[in-house]
Amino acid sequence: MVIGSPRFTGKERDTESGNDYFGARYYASTMGRFLSPDWSAKAEPVPYAKLADPQSLNLYHYVLNNPMTGIDKDGHCASGSWWCDAWHGATQVVSYAASTLYGKAQVGVGLGGEVKLGPAKAKVEAKDVTETRTAKDDSSRKEVIEVKASAKFGPLEVGLGITGEKPLQDANGNAPADAKTEWTPLLGFDYKSLSTDSHGWDVGVGAGGCVVLCLGAEGGVNAGKVVSDATTLLKQSADAMQILTGPTY
């Protein structure tokens, strides 16, 4: 298979077969049909079909045999039919929401405790723990050594103490070579920008406590990712509008 430049509705064309790749299956533009029947992750007699629309019962059709009014986004169903658009919209919302979720666990030794509610977090503790963060495309494990009394609201933290962090595992599951502990003192207050520490914008619930043995758990939404993605989207929209309207003088 040799993929060429985008052709029909922006899909990539296999230069050897002349067929277009839609993700779920291949489409033959010479016949106006898909080369394989439609399918779904959950077994169904007629996937993505609506019994009220006989055209949808054909598992090889392209956009309900009406290519003048719709396009196929992924090889499964046609844009332009309300039920398909609603399905795509719902799956995209669910997929993005899942990508913003995170979970965090700490195990180690120390004394004290902490509690998190929404963007706020309060702690009074001395600890040496292994912290494991689990999130889509953003998982990691690190050693955290901390002696601190502080109150935090989003990226703003007020208090006294010092924190040392040493990466043990990156998002790809690899142990960083020659990793060293980086120390950060807190003397009064500290503010971490979104570009510096997106995890500081986490919104969630959690608690932890240490009486020799430290245990802690936390989960929620990485609001930093949401803000960053929204900022990028607004910038892209502004750039697109600038291209459409032309320069202003």
Q: Which of 92-96, 181-185, 226-230, 243-247 has the highest mean pLDDT?
A: 181-185
Lowest mean pLDDT among 50-64, 199-213, 220-234: 50-64
Distance from C-alpha of 232 to C-alpha of 229, rounded to nearest angstrom: 5
pLDDT for position 146: 96
Angle between helices 82-100 and 223-245 (to 10 degrees): 130
Q: Is the pTM of this model over 0.85?
A: no
The token duo for 216 is 């802690």
Q: Say how far apart CA 169 and CA 147 lie, in whole Å.
A: 23
Q: Which residue has the higher pLDDT, 56 or 187?
A: 187
Instruction: State CA 210 to chain mean position distance.
Output: 32
pLDDT tens digits along 190-224: 988 877 777 878 999 999 999 999 999 999 999 88
Using one digit for the tens of pLDDT, what is the confidence trace for 79-116? 556 666 676 677 778 888 888 999 999 999 999 999 99
Phi, psi of 236 (to 5 degrees): -65, -40
For the chain, give every domain's residue range.
3-89, 102-227
Burial class of residue 237 (count of CB atoms within 10 Å of its CB; 0-12, 13-18, 19+): exposed
Task: State yes or no: pLDDT of 147 exceeds 90.
Answer: yes
What single DSSP character describes residue 31? T
Nearest to 10, CA basis, from 25, 21, 24, 26: 21
- Contacts of residue 13, defined as CB under 8 A and 6 or more positions apart, other chains included, come to 3, 4, 5, 6, 7, 19, 20, 21
pLDDT (0 to 100) of residue 247: 56
Joined tokens for residue 80? 């332009």
Phi, psi of 60 (to 5 degrees): -110, 0
Q: In sequence order, which residues have a C-beta less than 8 Å from that of residue 2 and are 6 or more positions away?
A: 14, 15, 16
CA 41, 44, 48: angle at the middle one, nearest 5? 80
